[in-house]
Amino acid sequence: MGNLNVAVLGPAGYAKDLGKKGTESDITFYNLKKGEDTVTIIEPTRYP
């Protein structure tokens, strides 16, 4: 089982079509599972 973490730097909400939305605070996590492998997509949301 593999895991890959990917940072997305682009327009706000760009990663929402790539995976299921998870935790949201200063950064938003999106999760994608393909078979035994998972991808965590990290997108900056805001700066306090």
Higher pLDDT, 34 or 1: 34
Query: How many Cβ atoms from other residues are within 10 Å of residue 39's Cβ?
Result: 16
Residues 6+ apart with CB under 8 A from 21: 28, 29, 30
Express each pLDDT in 15-45 by its tens digit.
888 899 998 889 999 999 999 999 999 999 8
- Give me the domain span that covers residue 9: 3-44
Pairing between β-strand 3-7 and β-strand 20-24 as defined by DSSP bridges: unpaired
Q: 3-class SS at 32? A: strand
The tally of CA atoms less than 13 A away on the side-chain side of residue 25 is 1
Q: In which band, very low, low, confident or very high, does the pLDDT at 48 lie, cut at 50, 70 and 90?
A: low
Whether 5 has a pLDDT exceeding 80, the answer reads yes
